[in-house]
């Protein structure tokens, strides 16, 4: 997202009434994260979050990229797919601020098998990049 469109989205999220924000959950999230960024910068209140299903922390993700914008933000990034964990660490290399937990969140204890698309095919462009976040 360009800086101009990011700024426009941010301004729009602060200016819209709650009734309209309810129709655009992405704008509600933008407003929440923008307020968190302001509190972190001017209120001395550090921002912390847990992102379950972080994928690579960049593609098709409106939340995780805010971690780069919010000063001293910290996060636990939960991602069970090894291929996505590598991409996630490349996107969030600071191991002090960003902890990657290689686990899946399920209803029961124990091990599970996660089926994904071939990582080499994703990287080569043989499969659409949208498939990176698909698993079962």
Domain definitions of the chain by residue range: 1-45, 46-136
**Higher pLDDT residue, 10 or 39?**
39
DSSP state of 57: S
Q: Which of 51-55, 63-67, 74-78, 91-95 has the lowest average pLDDT?
A: 63-67
Please state the rounded mean pLDDT for residues 27-52.
83
Is 22 a residue whose pLDDT tops 90? Answer: no
φ/ψ (deg, to 5) at 51? -115, 105
User: How far is the C-alpha of 41 from the C-alpha of 55, rounded, in Å?
Assistant: 27
Q: How far is CA 132 from the centre of its chain?
A: 14
Confidence (pLDDT) at 71: 81
Residues 62, 26: contact at Cβ < 8 Å? yes
Sort 79 into a burial class: Cβ within 10 Å, 0-12 / 13-18 / 19+.
buried
Residue-wise pLDDT tens digits, 105-118: 999 999 988 888 88
Percent of the chain with pLDDT over 90: 32
């Amino acid at each position: 997202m360009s800086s101009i469109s990011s700024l426009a989205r941010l301004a729009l999220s602060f200016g819209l009434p709650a009734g309209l924000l309810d129709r655009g959950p992405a704008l509600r999230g933008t407003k929440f994260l923008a307020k968190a960024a302001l509190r972190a910068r001017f209120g001395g209140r550090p921002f912390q979050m847990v992102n379950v299903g972080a994928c690579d922390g960049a593609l098709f993700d409106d939340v995780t990229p805010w971690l780069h914008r919010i000063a001293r933000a910290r996060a636990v990034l939960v991602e069970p797919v090894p291929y996505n964990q590598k991409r996630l660490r490349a996107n969030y290399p600071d191991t002090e601020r960003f902890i990657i937990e290689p686990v899946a969140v399920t209803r029961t204890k124990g091990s599970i098998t996660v089926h994904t698309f071939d990582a080499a095919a994703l990287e080569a462009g043989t499969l659409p990049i949208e498939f990176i976040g698909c698993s079962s």
